[in-house]
Amino acid sequence: SILNEHIPMFNYNEARIVAKLNANENPYGPSPKVIKAISDSISLGNRYGHGEAKVLIDMIAEKEGVTPDHIMLSPGSSDILEKVAFVQFMNGGNVVSADPSYMSLMNTAQKLGATWKPSLLTGDYQHDLEAMAKSVDSETNLVYICNPNNPTGSITDATKLKAFCSTVSEKTPVFVDEAYLEFLDKPEESSMVGLVAEGKDVIIARTFSKVHGMAGLRIGYMVALPERIESITSKVRSTMGLCVTSLNGAIASMKDPSFITSCRNMNTDCREYTKGEIASLGYDIIPSHTSFMIFPIRMEGQAFMKGMYDSGVGIRVFNIDDKPWCRVSMGTKEEMEIFVDAFKKVTA
């Protein structure tokens, strides 16, 4: 595929970055209540966090409308993407997904010997569910959906996606990565988690890294049928990977919904501001439902990235359809102003 490669950014010295807008991190988090909970629990660091894990699992189960045996905690959702790939593709097979999309699971699957069957997004950047359903064959061990999608920021219609997941999960598990779900105004309406409660073989991944502002603290969870969770816990991971401070932080974050609402609102404001500024320069931005946005640029990708990093602004450049695209994460309002100023200077 020519799509979805990003130009490496690691040659640049991050210490000089004044606006770090390259990793879809939340500039406001973690919440003050999370910081307090973590500080208070440092002294518990001599004990394993099994009790705290149970508390968090029970809270998540209640919120998602499933029993606790449908929940698996993990250090970030990356671990879920990886471990699901290990179990599903240890004997090869193929994985169906959109292109471009978030490549973590497909990369792991391919390293294990599986084949990636990409399916281009539709003209309005939704998953092409019809094409993806057709692409599923007897060798397909998993379908990966990212909704809202990274790196496009676009959303696939929830009603259509629900029908797709219901049907396709009769043949193969459907993994729905909902890392950016909480940036939607009504996240619960777009989540596929209800299908798990209905007994469908759908695997949902969620993370505290994005709207909760806890990327460096490494907490995420999976909602799936108990037998799916068992397929992972019995083969490729223990319950020992979680840290008591982060568990207590996640518990505190779940008890602080007003922080989530304020992050969502500030994110929306910054997105509107940035969209307005960049669109007024004549760029076509894919309508974003997330904490980042992407648009094609009119200069060579590496030179653009160097110019931006030299101006202290970290962004990512993706090659999509053989053209360079700028993906910029939403920072604070001040950081977005720095981004816009640098963008004007570099592209002038």
**What is the distance between the terminal CA atoms of the chain, rounded to a whole angstrom?**
32
77 binds ligand PLP (CB under 6 A): yes
142 binds ligand PLP (CB under 6 A): no
150 binds ligand PLP (CB under 6 A): yes
329 binds ligand PLP (CB under 6 A): no
Alpha carbon separation from 281 to 33, 59, 189, 275, 320 (Å, rounded):
40, 46, 34, 10, 21
Stretch that binds ligand PLP, among 2-10, 73-81, 82-90, 314-322 (CB under 6 A): 73-81
Stretch that binds ligand PLP, among 6-14, 41-49, 72-80, 228-236 (CB under 6 A): 72-80
Stretch that binds ligand PLP, among 71-79, 107-115, 158-166, 308-316 (CB under 6 A): 71-79
Binding residue for ligand PLP (CB under 6 A) from 22, 88, 156, 207?
207
CA distance 336 to 172: 42
Stretch that binds ligand PLP, among 75-83, 161-169, 195-203, 333-341 (CB under 6 A): 75-83
95 binds ligand PLP (CB under 6 A): no
Alpha carbon separation from 100 to 4, 12, 74, 76, 122 (Å, rounded):
5, 25, 25, 22, 11
* C-alpha triplet 255, 207, 212: angle, nearest 5°: 45
CB 303 to ligand PLP: min, Å: 25
Backbone dihedral region for residue 76 (phi beyond 0: left; psi -120 to 50: alpha; all else: beta): left
220 binds ligand PLP (CB under 6 A): yes
For the chain, what is the total number of helices (H) and then of strands (E)? 13, 13
Stretch that binds ligand PLP, among 3-11, 64-72, 76-84, 184-192 (CB under 6 A): 76-84
Residue 168 near residue 145, CB atoms below 8 Å? no
209 vs 245, beta carbon nearer ligand PLP: 209
Binding residue for ligand PLP (CB under 6 A) from 27, 76, 314, 331?
76
CB 8 to ligand PLP: min, Å: 16
Alpha carbon separation from 90 to 114, 130, 201, 207, 265 (Å, rounded):
8, 27, 19, 25, 42
Binding residue for ligand PLP (CB under 6 A) from 78, 152, 245, 274?
78
Which positions lie near ligand PLP, rule CB under 6 A? 24, 76-78, 102, 146, 150, 177, 179, 207, 209, 215, 220
